[in-house]
Amino acid sequence: MRQKIIAGNWKMNGTVPWTEELIRELLASNSNNERVKVVVCPPFTSLYVAAKLLEGSHIALGAQDMSQHESGAYTGEVAADMLLTVGVKYVILGHSERRQYHAEDDKLVNAKAKAALSAGLTPIICVGETIEQREAGQTEKIVGAQVDGTLAGLSANLITKSVLAYEPVWAIGTGKTATPEMAQAVHKFIRQRVAKVDSQAAETLPILYGGSVKPGNAHDLLTQPDIDGALVGGASLKATDFVGIINAV
Ligand code: PEP
């Protein structure tokens, strides 16, 4: 049985007081579903306070990005061991907004994934096609190349310590969700692609779906055989919505 994961990507939302409020709401509500690993990924500035509030709880902490470098003259960057010191366990890598606005490519995401894994963090590696690529029938070509590129050089053992997230770019923050069948088809394709590296690692690898997941569509997506959870943006900013998704598992 693969671990089900519901991860909230807060993006650039949340001052420290706002973080405290949302985390308190999550802890006070029915967010503990034993079938699910719950993760929240606030901005860097909120990680420390979030970690303090989440200590000893069922909710794990994630970051939204990190540097591929260990330390040094990289202004504005944050290294893996800095994340570890504030209690971070997961790190989102290669989100489409990083690819779009910060020109991140598969090679860089691969270097970040290797740095995260060697530090003991679990990378949540994002892949997904644009609407133009989907309409041109290139979804498998694009996503397949992203999977190959971002996992390049990872042993089967390291792949089993990773998480992938399929996030069609056209579904992120748009209210347009892939149908459960569309998403399942790509998830199955991704698992088969990973199986070319190692079939056992492919079987255990959690593959999350992301793109306008809401309480109302979560159940149908999450009951697909190759969908092992969700990476949630907008709906993770409201406790009742996020808890609704957690309890859809
Ligand atoms: C995301 O940013 O990872 C995401 C899936 O956003 P949303 O849920 O808002 O589409």
Instruction: Tell me whether residue 34 is one of the annotated catalytic residues.
Output: no
Residues of the chain where predicted confidence (pLDDT) is lower than 50: none
- DSSP H or E run through 125: strand 122-127
Place of tokens 């309890």: 247
Q: pLDDT for 61-110, tens place per residue?
A: 999 999 999 999 999 999 999 999 999 999 999 999 999 999 999 999 99
From the candidates 95, 97, 104, 129, give the one annotated as an active-site residue.
Answer: 95
Indicate if ligand 1 lies below 6 Å from the C-beta of 165.
no
For residue 176, report the distance from its CA to the centre of ligand 1, in Å.
11
Amino acid at 119: A
DSSP class of residue 98?
H
Instruction: Tell me whether residue 70 is one of the annotated catalytic residues.
Output: no
For residues 241 and 215, give the distance between their C-alpha atoms in angstroms, rounded to a whole number.
Answer: 6
Q: Which residues sit opposite 210 in a β-bridge?
A: 231
Residue 190, both tokens:
């991704």
Q: pLDDT for 140-162, tens place per residue?
A: 999 999 999 999 999 999 999 99
Residue 124, both tokens:
């949540």
Indicate which residue's Cα is closest to atom 8 of ligand 1.
233
For residue 15, report the distance from its CA to the centre of ligand 1, in Å.
19
154-192 CB burial, b ≥16 within 10 A, e <16: beeebbbbbbbbbbbbbbbeeeebbebebbbbbbebbbe
For residue 119, report the distance from its CA to the centre of ligand 1, in Å.
26
pTM over 0.95: yes
Alpha carbon distances (Å) from 168 to 23, 122, 142, 162: 28, 22, 11, 19
Query: Which among 75, 79, 78, 113 is positioned nearest to 94, based on CA atoms?
Result: 113
